[in-house]
Amino acid sequence: MQIGRKPLVAMVSGVLLSLVSAAVQAEPRPYLESPTVAFRPLTDGDVRPLNPKVRYVGAYELVATGTSGLVGLSDIQVFPTADGVQAEAVSDFGAVARFTLKADGKGGYLDSPLEIDPLRDADGKTFDNKSLADSEDLAYDPATGRRFVSFEGVQRVMAYSDWRGPGETLPLSGLALFPSNFGMEGLTYLPDAKAGDALLIGVEAGGFWRCELASDACAPVTGPAAPGFLYMLTSLAVVDYADPVRRHEILALYRYFDPLTGPRNILRLLKYENRALTVITDLVRPKPYDNYEGVAAQKTGDGYRLYLISDSLKENGRSKLLVYDWTP
């Protein structure tokens, strides 16, 4: 499937969104002290899901103390631990943030220590400009734990075995040159014992690509159109690598923006099979409106907990976390 041409109004809206985001966010500053993050509950807005099998859990604003680096969050991954859920999030400023989501017994989360580390190039150096640092999505190999990050400014995918170590730029071939600031917003890992493991890339301007890790060769994948006018892809995530059915199901988060009504989102469930993506159902249309760019799923007793994180357009730059429970 070739990348679709984006309508002019969508391109203009995307540019306006980028300008608004850049205007309200200050460049991150170094640590002032040992940083922490609090999860301030939000009660305003209509957060009803689209699907009767999805239940709204809560919305939280991430309030960091001791650093200004918790801004511009573009994607999230979650990993269950003995102390709660370990969360990792990458940012538009070329950094990875790590914190713990631990229930406080009152419907919220306890304050957490916060680690923020800059992403590094193959020489172990940090990125010295926004185009190089603009990380958009995060994936991981469930067998090895190796992380993969897609970058939108200077188009590339980098692999990390250690968040504080150097990154490796994958020599991917066969990708188109995507429009500036409308590139690789979606990235997830596809384990496949027969065909070989691969990365699935979703492009904000339209289109999906499968990149074989054994050969680094990429090819277009047949996939659905966006869910509506002006909607563009912002994140991809496999539902559950441990489940033989859910490992072929993919969460796809789409964003809509125009300068008059602001941003809105749709979370859609896709199925990947025979190098093609098809729509299963729509799950969530999150509100209060914000620029949600990342999605992750965690296995629970009877289903999955879904986490959506925003790259906030608000003046304070604080990201929001939306939480839903889904019982398939």
Q: pLDDT tens digits for 85-127?
A: 999 999 999 999 999 999 999 989 999 999 999 999 999 999 9
- Looking at domain 8-326, its CATH class is mainly beta
Instruction: Calculate the alpha carbon distances from 102 to 58, 108, 110, 177, 222 in Å.
Output: 14, 8, 6, 41, 39
Q: pLDDT tens digits for 261-279?
A: 778 899 999 999 999 999 9
Which residue in this structure is represented by tokens 């914190």?
Answer: 99
Domain boundaries, the chain: 8-326
Least confident among 74-78, 154-158, 194-198: 194-198
Report which secondary-structure segment, H or E, holds 19: helix 8-24
Percentage of the chain surpassing pLDDT 70?
88
The distance of Cα 69 from the centroid of its chain, to the nearest Å, equals 17
Please calculate the CA angle 298-255-180 and round it to the nearest 5 degrees: 110
In contact, 270 and 224? CB cutoff 8 Å: yes
Which residue in this structure is represented by tokens 């990947």?
Answer: 272
**Is the confidence at residue 157, as pLDDT, over 50?**
yes
> Could you tell me the pLDDT band of residue 30, with boundaries at 50, 70 and 90?
low
Which residue in this structure is represented by tokens 């609090």?
Answer: 38
